[in-house]
Amino acid sequence: MSKVSNVLLAIVLIGFVAYKIYKLPKFSDGDDLESFSATLIDGSTLDSDDLKGSIVLLDFWGSWCGPCRKESPDLVSLHKDYHGKTFKSAKQFEIVSVAIETNEARWKAAIQKDQLHWKNHIVQLDRFSSPIAKQFGVKEIPTKYLINEAGTIIGVNQSFEEIRQYLDAQI
């Protein structure tokens, strides 16, 4: 390979690594959940401090996001299997869905079509410029944070199997 090819390859690799680092969520395992407040789909207000004592899956998604929509059955299954269960040290399991959107009607239609029947649905119509997306450093979706009852992040972008293993260990 010529020197020019080597330099170009190095530039591409550095760019790829920098892009991957840029896309990482802001928080990682062991970080405490930062407080936030938002309006839910029913018009009520959710204050994140009200979630303390519960195990929470904070799910950033979009109605326009194919990989997000593909995960909907897994989210529905998690909610069905663990919401209302008794846990050792947590009062319950909650899913909080934060939609990164520009169209509220499409968001509501996706919730109905995918049967996302939990109460904690938040929409932010500024996509990745929305306050909660910025606060959590969300630059791509789906992004998930699993948060324990003390408000500590215990998993970022875990597989559904890993989430289930954690929840099962808490029952």
Calculate mean pLDDT across residues 138-165: 95
Is 146 exposed, middle or buried (CB count within 10 Å of its CB: 0-12, 13-18, 19+)?
buried
pLDDT at 112 over 70: yes
Domain ranges of the chain: 26-170
Is the confidence at residue 21, as pLDDT, over 80? no
- CB neighbours of 50 closer than 8 A, spacing ≥ 6? none
Q: Report, as an integer, the average pLDDT of 29-48.
A: 90
At residue 17, the pLDDT reads 45
Predicted confidence band at 61 (pLDDT cuts at 50, 70, 90)? Answer: very high
pLDDT confidence of residue 14: 53
Q: What is the pLDDT of residue 13?
A: 56
Report the mean per-residue pLDDT for the chain. 88
Question: Quick one: pLDDT at residue 147?
Answer: 96
Identify the pLDDT of residue 47: 95
For residues 74 and 88, give the distance between their C-alpha atoms in angstroms, rounded to a whole number: 24
pLDDT of residue 31: 86
Confidence class for position 55, pLDDT limits 50, 70, 90? very high
Q: What is the pLDDT of residue 19?
A: 42
Which residue would you say has higher pLDDT here, 9 or 136? 136
Which residue, among 15, 10, 49, 45, has the nearest Cα to 32 in the 3D structure?
49
Higher pLDDT, 48 or 2: 48
User: What is the reported pTM?
Assistant: 0.85
Domain 26-170 architecture: 3-Layer(aba) Sandwich (3.40)
Question: Token pair of 155, please?
Answer: 């998993």
Across the range 93-98, mean pLDDT stands at 97
